[in-house]
Chain A
Amino acid sequence: MSRSLRGVALAAALLLNAPTAFADRDVRESAQVHPKGEVEVSNIAGSVRVTGWDRDVVEVTGTLGSGVEDLEFRTEGRYTLIKVRMPRNGRSGGSDLEISMPASGRLTVGTVSSDTTVQGVQGALRLQTVSGNIETDVFGEDAQLKTVSGDVIVQGTDEAGLLTITTVSGDVGLRDVRGEIVVQTVSGDVEAESTELERARIRTTNGDADLRTGLASGARFEMEAVNGDLTLTIKGEPDAEFNIETFNGDIRNDFGPEPVRTSRYAPGRELRFSERDGSARVGIKTLNGAIILRTD
Chain B
Amino acid sequence: MAVTAEASGAEADAAGPVEDARLVARARGGDLPAFEALYRRHAGRINALCLRMTGSHALAEDCVQEAFVQAWRHLDRFEGRSAFTTWLHRIAVNRVLTVQRSESRRPGGFEVSDEDNPDPWGADPGETDPGKDMDLERTIASLPDGARNVFVLHAVCGYSHQEAADMLGIAVGTCKAQLHRARRLLSERLEQ
Contacts and interface: CB of A to CB of B under 8 A. Distances in A.
Majority SS at the chain A contact face: loop
Contacts of A272: 105
A260 B107 CA distance: 10
Contact of B144 (A260, A261, A265): A265
Contacts of A265: 144, 185
Contacts of B185: 265
Interface residues of A, number: 7
Contacts of B108: 264
A263 B143 CA distance: 12
Contacts of B105: 272
Interface residue tally on B, bucketed by range: under 10
B130 to A, nearest CB: 31
A170 to B, nearest CB: 35
Contacts, number: 11
A69 B144 CA distance: 68
A191 to B, nearest CB: 34
Contacts of A264: 107-109
A263 B107 CA distance: 6
A272 B107 CA distance: 14
Interface string B93-113: 000000000000101110000
A250 B2 CA distance: 50
A272 to B, nearest CB: 8
Nearest to B109: A264
B149 to A, nearest CB: 15
Interface in B125-172: 144
Contacts of B107: 260-261, 263-264
Nearest to A272: B105
Nearest to B185: A265
A263 B105 CA distance: 9
Nearest to A266: B144
Nearest to A265: B144
A243 B85 CA distance: 39
A107 B144 CA distance: 54
Nearest to B104: A263
Interface in B66-117: 105, 107-109
Nearest to B108: A264
A272 B144 CA distance: 20
A266 to B, nearest CB: 8
A261 B185 CA distance: 20
A260 B105 CA distance: 11
A47 B153 CA distance: 64
Interface of A: 260-261, 263-266, 272
Which 6 pairs of residues, A with B, have the shortest CB-CB distance? A265-B144, A264-B107, A264-B108, A263-B144, A263-B107, A261-B107
Interface of B: 105, 107-109, 144, 185
11 contacts: A260-B107, A261-B107, A263-B107, A263-B144, A264-B107, A264-B108, A264-B109, A265-B144, A265-B185, A266-B144, A272-B105
Given A260-B107, A263-B144, A264-B108, 8 more contacts: A261-B107, A263-B107, A264-B107, A264-B109, A265-B144, A265-B185, A266-B144, A272-B105
